């Protein structure tokens, strides 16, 4: 009894081994550095800052939105980002597109 014997090239093609391999190389910033287009901690308020600290460091916001919900979440809108507060402390800062 004879087993099926395919030409070696056909076997290589069927397993995709003949196709060239490529990979994209990603460069990550070193610890403590920011990516080229990301904001650093000093560009926007960071979690835990009080409203007084935010105003002292970043100035008065363009708009202050009243708190809503429970716990109360308020927003301060600046030129290029919005700061979210829970009670009187920053919980998140989001850059505008």
What is the value of pTM for the model shown? 0.59
pLDDT surpassing 60 at residue 2: no
- Domain positions in the chain are 44-97
pLDDT surpassing 70 at residue 22: no
Could you tell me what percent of the chain has a pLDDT over 90? 55
- The residue-averaged pLDDT of 1-8 equals 60
Cα atoms in the 13 Å half-sphere on the side-chain side of 70: 0
Instruction: State the pLDDT at residue 24.
Output: 72
pLDDT in tens, 56-85: 999 999 999 999 999 999 999 999 999 999
Cross-strand bridge partners of residue 65: 75
The pair phi, psi for residue 63, each rounded to 5°, is -150, 140
- Dihedral sign computed on CA atoms, order 56, 62, 66, 69: negative
- Dihedral sign computed on CA atoms, order 89, 95, 63, 43: positive
């Amino acid at each position: 009894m004879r087993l099926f014997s395919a030409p070696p090239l056909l076997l290589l093609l069927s397993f995709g081994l003949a196709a060239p391999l490529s990979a994209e190389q990603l460069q990550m910033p070193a610890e403590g550095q920011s990516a080229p287009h990301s904001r650093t901690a000093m560009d926007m308020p960071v979690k835990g800052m009080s409203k007084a600290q935010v105003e002292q460091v970043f100035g008065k916001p363009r708009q202050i939105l009243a708190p809503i919900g429970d716990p109360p979440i308020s927003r301060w809108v600046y030129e290029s980002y919005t700061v979210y507060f829970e009670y009187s402390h920053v919980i998140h800062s989001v850059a505008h597109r």
